[in-house]
């Protein structure tokens, strides 16, 4: 295996960074002789120190990138110059650069670093932001179309790393000596190693994503009554107010570690609990990374499909509110979706995570439970548990899940993932599936016609320029037709919303030039996207035949 130098840039929050570790581990397994440099924020790098598959960890203080991790139009070049001076690793020549961060500053940083191949969000020569690689395009596109995607962020990062998707375990090793220290500290506070231990992560990076403390308290009562469980609270000192509310409503004894852990020992503490019930936040991903089962509660802007805990056997509880998950631009001041998730649903989630019999799963119809496992192509899947569709909200979630299954099956070929046809992992009758497939076929026809229309106009321009005396008015007419085609594509409605964003990302790669050369650039773009449509049409036929067999 040839020696290669990889640079991974991840200037995002703790949870996203933890979710990148399986990809890093797989990259090292496939390129054992290569050198992997990981460039990240110092505040969140502590758990990464000593990880054997990261050769060089560059931890950058937040103060050093405060002026560059921005979406502002103007780039502070001097701030980047200082960053390069303080971190000589940025001046190294790399074989592959993978930017897993999605802000303007990281894009400019990626453009300045020397690398033979670049993946993810980068600046082009014309200072346009482009997404290099199919996986990078897909990740950026699904950020605005989350409900049509089934792939976990771990699998998206793995694709960006260019390695084969497959299950990864034990991707955040801990220090045995710290493990023993944490266990001893817990025992001093009354921890019983022979009893079931369940952890509660009360807070989240965004307050709107926090399940009400009184719901956690009621869950603790149920766990004590039904499973004789001991409860341990986790969280930073900033979450003390939530802990105080929990204290007031909890009629049982528990261990309070709020403000008593650090990023150095938190992984070891989380190994001491059998299950962590958590909001969507960094500690949830740390728990999954060290092998602890997780019951994740997803509300407001949190959506389990992308940021759910990675690994088999975890539980995600997603609100059934029709508007859930909401976008950052449309989030409620006081999300009711969190209160739709009942403690009884979380209790069922804990039982399922422990491998216990749960019985009929209703969850109050305000939420659905999903359990994680790995599919035949090595990616993580969350399958809906039980639940009847005789309630509108539950039926609507099931319908959306089935629609997302169709969408993902279509996109997998383009991403290079193996296909795994068969019965969809969601409930829904044959007529429902047939209607969804028909909607996708109509969308494919609409896009296909527009691509053909755009290519025809481009060919007319090229043909006209070959004449001794090109007709300027005719060329201008064709340019207007191309502009209208682009506008029509941008305004298309229907189930292929991801493709609309992929189209836009391909447009950013179009080279700045004049006609007739620009017409060739547009034809190249339309051809690539027409191939996607053809692939979708073929896959739709295969799904239909597969369902008929089953």
Buried b (16+ CB within 10 A) or exposed e, 238-270: ebeebbebbeeebeeebbbbbebbebebbbbbb
The Cβ of residue 281 has, within 10 Å, a number of other Cβ atoms equal to: 25
The structure tokens listed for 406 are 């169709």
Q: In terms of Cα–Cα distance, which of 299, 302, 301, 364 is closest to 336? A: 299
Long-range contacts of 372-377 (CB under 8 A, 24+ apart): 372/308, 372/309, 372/310, 372/311, 372/312, 372/313, 372/314, 372/315, 372/316, 373/312, 373/313, 374/167, 374/312, 375/420, 376/418, 376/420, 377/165, 377/412, 377/417, 377/418, 377/419, 377/420
Q: pLDDT value at position 453?
A: 97
Using 50, 70 and 90 to split pLDDT, how confident is the model at 143? Answer: confident
Q: How far apart are CA 44 and CA 516, in angstroms?
A: 50
| Of residues 132, 140, 100, the one with CA closest to residue 116 | 132
Confidence of residue 21 (pLDDT cuts 50, 70, 90): very high
| 327 DSSP 8-state letter | P
Q: What is the mean pLDDT of residues 121-129?
A: 74
- Phi/psi at 98 (5° precision): -125, 110
**At 31, is the pLDDT very low, low, confident or very high (cuts 50, 70, 90)?**
very high
Alpha helices in 193-236 (DSSP H): 213-227
Which of these ranges, 100-104, 246-250, 341-345, has the smallest mean pLDDT?
100-104
pLDDT band at 67; cut points 50, 70, 90: low
Q: What are the tens digits of pLDDT across the range 422-441?
A: 556 555 556 788 889 999 99
193-197 mean pLDDT: 97
Q: What are phi and psi of 219, to 5 degrees?
A: -60, -40
- List phi, psi (to 5°) of 372: -90, 145
User: What mean pLDDT value characterizes the chain?
Assistant: 90
Q: What is the pTM of this model?
A: 0.94
């Amino acid at each position: 295996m040839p020696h290669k130098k990889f640079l991974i840039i991840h200037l995002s929050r703790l949870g996203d960074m933890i979710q990148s570790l399986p990809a890093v581990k797989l990259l090292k397994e496939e390129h054992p002789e290569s050198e992997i440099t990981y460039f990240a924020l110092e505040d969140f790098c502590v758990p990464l120190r000593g990880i054997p598959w990261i050769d060089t960890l560059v931890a950058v203080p937040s103060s050093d990138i405060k002026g560059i991790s921005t979406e502002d139009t103007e780039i502070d070049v001097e701030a980047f110059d200082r960053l390069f001076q303080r971190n000589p690793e940025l001046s190294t020549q790399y074989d592959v650069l993978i930017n897993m961060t999605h802000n303007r500053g990281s894009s400019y940083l990626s453009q300045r670093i020397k690398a033979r191949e670049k993946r993810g969000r980068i600046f082009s020569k014309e200072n346009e932001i482009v997404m290099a690689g199919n996986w990078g395009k897909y990740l950026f596109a699904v950020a605005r179309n989350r409900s049509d995607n089934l792939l976990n962020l771990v699998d998206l990062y793995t694709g960006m790393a260019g390695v084969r998707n497959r299950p990864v375990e034990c991707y955040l090793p801990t220090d045995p000596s710290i493990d023993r220290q944490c266990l001893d500290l817990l025992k001093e506070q009354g921890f019983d190693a022979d009893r079931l231990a369940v952890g509660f992560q009360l807070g989240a990076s965004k307050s709107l994503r926090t399940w009400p403390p009184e719901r956690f308290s009621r869950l603790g009562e149920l766990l004590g009554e039904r499973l004789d469980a001991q409860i341990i609270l986790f969280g930073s000192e900033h979450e003390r107010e939530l802990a105080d509310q929990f204290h007031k409503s909890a009629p049982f004894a528990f261990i309070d570690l709020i403000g008593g852990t650090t990023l150095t020992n938190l992984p070891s503490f989380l190994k001491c609990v059998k299950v962590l019930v958590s909001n969507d936040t960094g500690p949830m991903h740390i728990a999954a990374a060290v092998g602890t089962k997780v019951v994740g509660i997803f509300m407001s802007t949190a959506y389990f499909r992308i940021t759910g805990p990675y690994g088999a056997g975890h539980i995600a509880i997603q609100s059934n509110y029709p508007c859930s998950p909401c976008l950052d631009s449309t989030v409620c001041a006081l999300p009711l979706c969190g209160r739709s998730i009942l403690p009884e649903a979380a209790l069922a989630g804990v039982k399922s995570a422990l491998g216990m019999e749960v019985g009929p799963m209703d969850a109050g119809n305000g939420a659905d439970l999903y359990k994680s496992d790995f599919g035949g192509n090595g990616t993580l899947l969350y399958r809906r548990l039980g639940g009847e569709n005789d309630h509108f909200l539950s039926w609507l979630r099931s319908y959306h899940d089935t629609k997302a299954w169709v969408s993902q099956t279509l996109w997998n070929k383009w991403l290079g993932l193996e296909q795994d046809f068969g019965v969809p992992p969601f409930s829904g009758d044959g007529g429902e599936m047939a209607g969804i497939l028909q909607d996708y076929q109509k969308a494919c026809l609409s896009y296909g016609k527009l691509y053909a229309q755009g290519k025809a106009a481009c060919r007319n321009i090229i043909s006209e320029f070959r004449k001794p005396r090109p007709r300027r008015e005719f060329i201008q007419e064709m340019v207007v037709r191309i502009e209208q085609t682009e506008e029509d594509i941008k305004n298309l409605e229907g189930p292929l919303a991801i493709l609309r964003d992929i189209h836009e990302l391909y447009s950013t790669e179009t080279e700045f030039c004049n006609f007739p050369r620009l017409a060739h650039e547009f034809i190249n773009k339309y051809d690539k996207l027409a191939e996607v449509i053809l692939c979708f049409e073929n896959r739709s036929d295969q799904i239909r035949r597969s369902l008929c067999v089953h």
